[in-house]
């Protein structure tokens, strides 16, 4: 897959020590998702998933106080929003993309509409004290159709989620943390470093164990207990037969850091 022109411009992409960091980089438009950004994000997701050296991904912004303004309204007016979708990833090339590896959203500033839906599509969210989240689509006569209407009730207590969806009102960082929507609130100056520390903590673990665990957990609301048990048994067998399953106990006994192979 050819690298899109927006990579390195509207979307920054860097990989080091098993962690990929993607940053929105369109501050003049408050990181509103353009067609070029959607293509770039879709490409980046594919790179993260295919590169065995990458174990965790962080989605953030290069500009303090700006996460994303969501969909670029000028492009919606021109194309009806079709240009902001990709065949495999849906809106922003991201919200419907198949992902096995863990993704962390580092949110500084408002995350409303499509921006909130992008964060909800991640596995973990870190944020800053002044940030807030919301799906104001009902105030505009539209629907939070990029996953927000069904992901929000899975991330929040039902009554709170329904209130936010029906009123379109925002949720501040403090309440978001209290309800478990975000993992933690950190100072804006430490946001990316904190996200990186969390990613490093995850990347230090056996990659197959992490992805298998997340595969089960992500389907916890979709499958019956019996189906989840079957899936757990199946993945447990696969992981236990891996090289890493032997490396973990060996490293523990030898009092050294494991050398994970991801196989």
Residue 1 has pLDDT above 70, yes or no: no
pLDDT tens-digit map of 28-60: 999 999 999 999 999 999 999 999 999 999 999
* 100 labelled catalytic: no
Q: Which of 75, 117, 241, 247 is catalytic?
A: 117
pLDDT tens-digit map of 59-112: 999 999 999 999 898 888 888 788 999 999 999 999 999 999 999 999 999 999
The dihedral formed by the CA atoms of 191, 193, 194 and 199, expressed in degrees to the nearest 10: 120
Q: What is the mean pLDDT of the chain?
A: 94
E-assigned strand segments in 70-155? 85-86, 90-91, 103-107, 110-112, 124-127, 132-134
To which residue do tokens 């990833």 refer?
A: 89
3-state DSSP of 14-35: EEECCEEEEEECCHHHCCCECH
Q: Which of 28, 75, 137, 243 is catalytic?
A: 137
Quickly state the pLDDT bin for 263 (edges 50, 70, 90).
confident
* 241 labelled catalytic: no
| Cβ-Cβ contacts under 8 Å for 143 (sequence gap 6 or more) | 137, 149
Phi, psi (deg, nearest 5) at residue 76: -65, -40
Q: What pLDDT is stored for residue 80 in this prediction?
A: 78
**In whole angstroms, what is the distance from residue 108 CA to residue 131 CA?**
6
Strand partners, 124: 104
Cβ 123 vs Cβ 104: under 8 Å:
yes
To which residue do tokens 């009730």 refer?
A: 153
């Amino acid at each position: 897959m050819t690298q899109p022109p927006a990579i390195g411009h509207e979307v920054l992409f860097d990989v080091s020590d098993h962690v990929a960091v993607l940053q929105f980089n369109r501050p003049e438009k408050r990181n509103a998702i353009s067609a070029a950004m959607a293509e770039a994000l879709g490409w980046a997701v594919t790179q993260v998933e295919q590169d065995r050296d990458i174990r965790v991904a962080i989605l953030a912004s290069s500009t303090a106080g700006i996460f994303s303004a969501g969909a670029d309204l000028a492009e919606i007016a021109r194309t009806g929003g079709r240009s902001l979708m990709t065949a495999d990833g849906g809106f922003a090339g991201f919200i419907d993309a198949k992902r096995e590896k863990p993704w962390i959203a580092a949110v500084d500033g408002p995350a409303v509409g499509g921006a909130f839906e992008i964060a909800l599509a991640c596995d973990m969210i870190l944020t800053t004290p002044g940030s807030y989240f919301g799906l104001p689509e009902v105030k505009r006569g539209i629907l939070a159709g990029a996953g927000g209407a069904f992901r929000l009730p899975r991330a929040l207590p039902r009554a709170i989620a329904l209130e936010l969806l029906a009123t379109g009102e925002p949720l501040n960082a403090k309440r978001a943390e209290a309800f478990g929507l975000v993992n933690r609130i950190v100072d804006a100056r430490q946001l990316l470093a904190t996200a990186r520390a969390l990613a490093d903590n995850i990347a230090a673990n056996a990659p197959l164990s992490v992805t298998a665990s997340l595969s089960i957990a992500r389907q916890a609301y979709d499958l019956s207990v019996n189906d989840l048990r079957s899936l757990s048994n199946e993945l447990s067998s696969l992981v236990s037969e891996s090289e890493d399953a032997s490396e973990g106990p060996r490293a523990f006994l030898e009092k050294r850091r494991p050398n994970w192979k991801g196989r």
